[in-house]
Structures are given as C-alpha cells and as structure tokens.
Amino acid sequence: MASQTVPHQEVSTLRHHFASDAQQKDAATIGMWVFLVTEIMFFGGLFLAYFAYRQAYPAAFASASNKTNLWLGAANTTVLICSSLTMALAVHAASMGKRTLLILFLILTLLLGGAFLGVKAYEYHDKWVHHEVPGAHFECEGCDDAGHAPLFFSLYFGMTGLHATHMLIGFVILVILIVQAAKGKFTSKWYTPIEMFGLYWHFVDIVWIFLFPLLYLIDRSHTGLK
C-alpha cells in the first residue's frame, strides 16, 4: 500500500476565551497600551519633580547639568534610534514570515541595547570616580548653589536608572523572543509577541528622547561641552 503524506497542520495560537485571532490580538494590543499609559504616569512623576526643582533651584540645575557628558548622551541617543529601526524591521520581517531576518534584526536590537547599557555603565562609573553621586562624599566642583546640586544628580540617577531598568527587562525579553523565533514559533499569521514588544521598545526609546535634552542639553553653556 502506498504511503500517504499527512499535510502539516499549523498549531493554533488562539486561546479558548477568545472568539477569533483578531479579537485575541486586539485584546493584547489594548492591554499593552494600558500598560504603557501606566508607565507614562510612572515616568511623569519624575519629570514633574524635575521641572519643579529646576524651577526652584535654577542655578544649581544649570551648573550641575554641565557635569553630564554630552557626547556619551548623544551617542546613546543615536544607539537607541538605531535600535528602534532594527526593532521596526524585526516586526516587518515577522509579518512577512521571514524567520532569518526576524532573528537577525532581533539580535541587532539586542546588541544595540547592550551597547546603550555599556555606555551608561561607563557614565555611572565616571560619576562615581568624580564623587558626583549624591551622598556623604558628594562633590560638585565649580557648581553654583552646590548645596542643591545633589537634587539634580538624584533625579539624574533616578530617571536614567529607571530607564536602564526598563532596558534590562527588554534585554531579557529579547533573548526569549530570539530563542522562540529560532524554534519557529512565529509565523506571518501570528507574531503578536514581537509586535507588542516592539511597542514597549519604542516607548523606552521615546522616554530617552525626552531625558536626553532635559539632563544633557538644557542650560548647558559652551564651557560645559565635553
């Protein structure tokens, strides 16, 4: 008897509590946007604190902002913009069912994210060496109103540290997505995790786009460029 070839059947990703794939995707999208709104409120409190203290102590914030490294901040901004591009390309590759390209762009996003965190770690180390970390040994050589300068650096470390934490979380998720993509879990018909993570990654990048001018550019004098 001639053997018969059993056609490959794609495993359904539809959960039992959804009526259709479209409904399931809509639920995931709404859930992600609700999460991002809570994140906006989370970061919003820090931004509000920054503006309030900057208004109260303009001299301290102006001179302290000159202590940030503009070129490292600009480099990290460039890195994150490039990572947004590779993430968008990863989503596009997933929608086209191109697994190799999907994995490639996810890996590139991972490497760019790692580069960002590496630069930020170097920057933190530089602040530690120059005693610009708020605490008992804090120093702000040449700062006006040095007594209130720690407020700027407290917000600097708080805001960039929270952002870096989101980057670390994204780093872990990227590794998981790369492994899943390598196993062929995503298809052109189902790539919702890639798409939802893309929204998260773009949000984190946008937050940095606001942090960069606030912490590195505003009130920077020509003598502070370094």
Query: What's the whole-model pTM score?
Result: 0.83
137 membership: H or E segment, kind and range: none
Short-list 84, 115, 88, 112, CA closest to 102? 88
Q: What is the pLDDT of residue 11?
A: 45
> How many angstroms separate the CA atoms of 179 and 181, rounded?
5
Convert the pLDDT of each residue in 158-180 to its tens digit: 999 999 999 999 999 999 999 99
The DSSP call for residue 19 is S
Region 61-66: what's the mean pLDDT?
A: 87
CATH superfamily, domain 71-130+151-216, is Cytochrome c oxidase, subunit III, four-helix bundle (1.20.120.80)
Distances (CA, A) of 25 to 35, 39, 49, 184, 191: 15, 21, 37, 19, 10
Residues 6 or more apart in contact with residue 99 via CB below 8 angstroms = 93, 181, 184, 186
The helix (H) or strand (E) run that includes residue 73 is: helix 70-95
State phi, psi for 30 to the nearest 5 degrees: -60, -40
- At residue 11, the 3 state secondary structure works out as coil
Q: Where are the domains of the chain?
A: 71-130+151-216
How far is residue 171's CA from residue 165's CA, in Å, rounded to a whole number? 10
Burial of residue 132 (number of CB atoms within 10 Å: 0-12, 13-18, 19+): buried
Q: What are the pLDDT digits (tens) for 197-220?
A: 999 999 999 999 999 999 998 876
CA dist list (Å): 87 to 26, 50, 73, 111, 125: 21, 30, 21, 12, 29
pLDDT in tens, 108-135: 999 999 999 999 999 999 999 888 888 8
Q: Locate 75 and state its tokens.
A: 């480099």
Other Cβ atoms within 10 Å of 142 Cβ, number: 10
Q: What is the pLDDT of residues 23-52, one digit of tens each?
A: 666 666 787 888 889 888 989 999 999 999
